[in-house]
Amino acid sequence: MMKIPLTRQVKEYALSLGFNDVGISLPEIKQKDYEALITYLDRHYHGKMAFLNEKTERRRNISMLYPEAKSLIMVLASYAPAIMSNRSRYKISYYTYSHDYHKVIKSKLQDLLRFIKNVDSHADGMIFCDTLPIFEKSYAAAAGLGWIGKNSLLINPIYGSYCVIGGIALNIELSPDKPIQQKCPENCNKCIDACPTKALIKPYILDASRCVSYLTVENKEDKMPFENPTSYIAGCDICQKVCPYNNRAVHSQNVFFTPQSHVYWTDNEWETLTTSTFKKQLSGTSLSRIGLKTLRRNIKLI
């Protein structure tokens, strides 16, 4: 099948599944992105996320994960909620309002891959969503889904940075998109200035070991390395809330991410969270990945 018609079909179907944006990139990573990762790791900006220091060569070459890769479909879904909760002083990041995005995006990508296989019997692919050693943000930028902002996040010109991404490495060729030339204004440092722990040490560079999101999600120790200066108990959106691109972004409630009951909990409901309630109401949400023990620790330290 011709590349252009198939590419168009793939994009149209991806959008019909509920993704907000979709683009195509070649399965090649820029040398500068790989070198930036090595520098990042050498300076220990990854904190105790040891998995980032593993299989770095595979991140450089996706063919080591999927040798047949000829093109990448990159998808984007906005999780910006239509309604912001304010019943509790305990704050949670917007991405934790709903179901675990890894499972949601992977399920929709499986639907997309089945569609492609039905259209082209020779097609096959490998699905990924923040679960494999892949430069997802770099590939998404190469596919025209946005640019890497000064807060180190992918910024889409329409939906801002409240987005999750995923993709499919395909064994067939599709027509690649061009990267967006837009970038953050030189004179805008709102995200850097707003970070309460100075985790954004300079434009585009995040020291995860200082980041509240890392401290409340990835750090599983009984004690925090330093006091949490925010009210966040799961993740952190401060650098995103001040971003001009998020202030004018389209906030349409994506069907993938319907807010669940915990979004409306009171202080008391958070403070008296039991194992039973955690399993019944938070299982399957992004908060389940944090774990009850860590969540309780975070609440006590506010």
Instruction: Output the CA torsion sign for 78, 18, 157, 151.
Output: positive
3-state SS class at 54: coil
Residue 302 CB partners (closer than 8 Å, separation 6+): 89, 90, 228, 231, 233
- For the chain, list the domains and their CATH numbers: 3-83+97-170 (3.40.109), 190-249+260-300 (no CATH)
Tokens describing residue 256: 């993938």
Q: What angle do CA 150, 152, 153 make, to 5 degrees?
A: 110
3-class SS at 204? coil
Check: CB of residue 34 under 8 Å from CB of residue 148.
Answer: no
Q: Is 130 a catalytic residue?
A: yes
pLDDT at 1 (0 to 100): 55
Q: Convert the pLDDT of each residue in 170-191 to its tens digit.
A: 999 999 999 999 999 999 999 9
Q: Which pLDDT value is given to residue 237?
A: 98
42, 111, 120, 130: the active-site residue: 130
At residue 252, the pLDDT reads 66
Q: What is the pLDDT of residue 223?
A: 83
Distance of CA 177 to the CA centre of its chain: 21
Compute the distance between CA of residue 279 and CA of residue 116 in angstroms, rounded to an integer.
36
**Which DSSP category does 267 fall into?**
H
Per-residue pLDDT tens digits for 3-37: 779 999 999 999 999 999 999 999 998 889 889 88
Contact by Cβ (8 Å): 142, 26: yes
| Cα 126 to Cα 150: distance, rounded to the nearest angstrom | 30
- In this prediction, the residues of the chain whose per-residue pLDDT falls under 50 are none
